[in-house]
Structure formats: C-alpha cells, structure tokens
Amino acid sequence: MTFEIDLSGQTGLITGAGHGVGQATALAFAAAGAHVLVNDYDPTLAGSVADEIVAAGGAATPCPFDVSDYDAVREAVDGSPGIDILVNNAGNAGPPAEGVSVSVGRFAETEPAEWDRYFAVNLFGVMNCTRAVLPHMVAEGAGRVITVVSEAGRVGEARMAPYAAAKAGAAGFMRAIAKEVGANGITANCVSLGTVDTIGLAKMAEESEEWAERLAKQKRAYITRRLGTPDDVAGVITFLASSRGSWITGQTYPVNGGYTINQ
C-alpha cells in the first residue's frame, strides 16, 4: 500500500518556475502526472525547465510572461489549456533588471518610488494571475490556487516593510478569494516561507569565511538548524494542489524550519 498524490489530467500554471521553489514545484507536479505550464519572466529559463520535464517523461509547456503585466497574463492564459491549478510563486523584487533584494533598509528613509516593484509582482502579480484563471475554474466547479508568501509578511521583518506589506496583502487576498469561490469547488491557500536556499548559499559558505559566518548565524534562527530547500516547499504545494487538500482553504501554512513556532 502506498500513499500517492495524483494530478493526472490536471493542468497547472506555476509562475516564477524557471528556478528555485518554482522549478522544484514544476518537477513535482509533473511527477504527479500534471501538465505543467512553466512560467518565468525569462523565456530561456521557462524553456529549460519545460525541456527538463519532457526529457524525464512528463508533460510541460514553457509559458513566459511578466506577472505584473495583466494584458500579457490574460493573453498567455487565454492561449493555454484550461488551467486547473495556479501556483503564484513569482516574487522577490520583480524581474532581474530591477534587482532581487527584498531589503530596502529602514522604511523611514525610503520613498514611494522604491515600493512599487514589490507590489507589482508580489501582490498585483498574484491578483492578475488569479483573475485570469478563475473564470475557467468557476465554470468547471473545481480549482486550486496556492500563493507563496513570506514570513516577512506573516509575522513581519525589519528593513523589509514594502515587501512584507505586499506579501501580507497577497495572503489577505487569498483569504478573500477562498470565501468568494469556496462554493464553486475552488480552494485558495498560502504557503509562507522562511529562508529557502535557492542561490547556493552552502556553496558560497565553503568558498568564503564571511559567508560561512553569515550562514551559521542565519541557521541559528531555525529550530532545524538549516535553511529550507526548494523540495521542502514543493511537497506542501503539491499536496494542497491535489484532491487530498480539498477540505483546506483560506489557510496560510508556515514552512519555515521552526523559525516561528508560536505564531
């Protein structure tokens, strides 16, 4: 007897799936039998992950677009098979040209022009993609929407106020959507992350004493004494996307190695 998660016959759109958590989730979805629409701002990254899935015997199609561009989102969704599962994973500070740091320093020293990029991808990108896929889900009477947020938004982090606000907004948006479409057989949930090593911090620590000290200090904040991996997150998302998560909605699941244990 085995415990299986089966996404056969389902089409899942995963944003920001060209690397990291999105890539791991795309691979997990494909392994569970889904047809994966691999989104990334960079067409090369989207194509590479889709090729990796197909080479392993799965079904995938690259689906490059900028989540902050509503017209581009609608065009991509309208041109794709009916989407049964949406994973809003694209985040950080937006496209590579705009940088990837989520820290802007002390909020009292920032200006409104610095806030926009965080809201564009982490909140409005989530709203754009959700709006584009919901009509099909409502018509089908079934669907899953999973949004990746951050502990910065769930419990707060200093020097990350705009990013935290955008992520908190996305979580609130998911709760509202859950109430709005629950009767249509659609669930909407969030996965809230602590620090996930998507850029090879362990390797950097091996090559730099400064990075080794920084990583050791960061690990001490986690009960597990390690940072997360993309695979740690992908399993939770895949469960929520499946029929086994059908009675879970409007929730935010901390996946954080014990970073916050009583919150």
**253 carries an active-site annotation:** no
The active-site residue, picked from 41, 70, 118, 163, is 163
171 touches 145 (CB < 8 A):
no
- Cα–Cα distances in Å, from 150 out to 102, 124, 163, 182? 11, 16, 9, 24
Q: How far apart are CA 58 and CA 35, in angstroms?
A: 7
The Cα 20–Cα 18 span in angstroms is 7
Tokens standing for residue 149:
């947020």
Question: Each residue of 149-161: b (16+ CB within 10 Å) or e?
Answer: bbbbbbeebeebb
What is d(CA 126, CA 148) in angstroms, rounded to the nearest whole number? 9
Burial of 34 (0-12, 13-18, 19+ CB in 10 A): buried
Residues recognised as catalytic: 163
